[in-house]
Amino acid sequence: MSWPEIVRTLRRCYGGKQESLSSLLGASQATISRWESGRQAPGPSFRDELIRLYNSNINTSYARTANKVLAGMAFRLDRQLRHLALDPRIQDLIHHPTGKLLGHPPWESWLPQGARRPFESACCKVLETGEPGEIRYAGPLYHYHIKLWWEPDGAKLMGEGQMIERETALDSIGRLLFHCGSVGMVKADSRRIFETNEAFLRMTGYSFEDLADGGLDWVAMTPPEFAEADRRALTELRNIGEFRPFEKEYWRKDGSRVTVVLAGTAVKSDPLIAACSIIDISASKTSASLSPQNLT
């Protein structure tokens, strides 16, 4: 878990100044600075409020929109599939200057990790045969349709992509939070997770391929002793539209457990669909159990 990243992300959401976050939380700017630098971890009450704010920002950023299309997004790659050139419009989607992406492969920036294997396969086929190729991929935020061809004169692999924003989309703040590397984000109904970011998959050991195969059954992923807490959270979602942060565990794919703090907001009431933020606190729990007070 990275509290500095969470604090830094929230600061950017609230105008970029520690003063704004300090006023909102009732903590001094010096304390905010120590949290963000990693010199001090937030106390329990502040942790709950940080999670609540984070969850509130991601979920108020969900908006139903007409599909938006980014068409004709051109790029050029070398034989190692690293960017030689990239459409500057992509930086509006990933909040990262395109110039810094040159020399890096697409899956380190705009292309979802789940699309890496089919993308590499299609590129290799184009390089081997010289024939044009294409891939289609449904990611968590966009549908991708990418055409590829080889330019022998310039010894470059050329590409043109179309990215169609899904019906339930995230605005710019939502994307910033969704791609935060330390906080898991999921969308789920009363049984299954059907949309998530890479952080949640990393903490639970699942892959985008597992997600695509009918979603992830979060009820089956929950040890039985936490079932009652989950039922209370579902009741709160139905009654007041959100549930308070609480601690629980998930079964990882390998059978081990991960301890998390979970908060959520309803984005649709019938059928119930919730967007949740999930923070892995396993490391802090382990540190606490190994503290001198607990060893005496």
* CATH code, domain carrying 91: 3.30.450.20
- Cα(122)–Cα(165) distance, integer angstroms: 23
Which of 166, 191, 214 is the endpoint of a domain?
Answer: 166
216 occurs within a structural domain: yes
Share of the chain above pLDDT 90, in %: 21
Q: Which range is most confident: 5-9, 132-136, 152-156, 201-205?
A: 201-205
Which single residue is written with the structure tokens 């565990």?
Answer: 249
**Residue 292: what pLDDT?**
47
pLDDT in tens, 31-70: 999 998 888 888 877 887 887 777 666 555 543 333 455 6
**Residue 169: what pLDDT?**
41
Whether residues 278 and 249 share a domain: the answer is yes
Which of 126, 141, 166 is the endpoint of a domain?
Answer: 166
Which of 126, 146, 166 is the endpoint of a domain?
Answer: 166
pLDDT in tens, 86-139: 877 776 666 556 677 788 888 877 787 778 888 999 999 998 988 899 888 876
Q: What average pLDDT does this structure show over 210-225? A: 90
56 occurs within a structural domain: yes
Query: Helix, strand, coil shares of the chain as percentages rounded to 5?
Result: 40, 30, 30
Whether residues 145 and 277 share a domain: the answer is no
**Domain coverage including residue 236:** 3-63+170-286
User: Is the per-residue pLDDT at 194 higher than 70?
Assistant: yes
User: Is the per-residue pLDDT at 17 higher than 60?
Assistant: yes
Residue 132 contacts residue 147 (beta carbons within 8 Å): yes
Whether residues 114 and 189 share a domain: the answer is no
Whether residues 97 and 39 share a domain: the answer is no
Whether residues 184 and 98 share a domain: the answer is no
Helices (H), the chain: 3-13, 18-25, 29-37, 44-60, 91-94, 116-129, 172-178, 198-204, 208-212, 227-240, 282-289, 292-295
**Residue 65: what pLDDT?**
36
Q: What average pLDDT does this structure show over 132-156? A: 78
- Paired strand residues for 275: 187, 265
**Residue 182: what pLDDT?**
67
* pTM for this predicted structure: 0.52
pLDDT in tens, 233-284: 999 888 878 888 899 999 999 999 999 989 888 877 778 888 888 888 887 6
18 occurs within a structural domain: yes
Number of domains in the chain: 2
Write the CA distances from 106 to 84, 142, 212, integer angstroms. 11, 15, 21
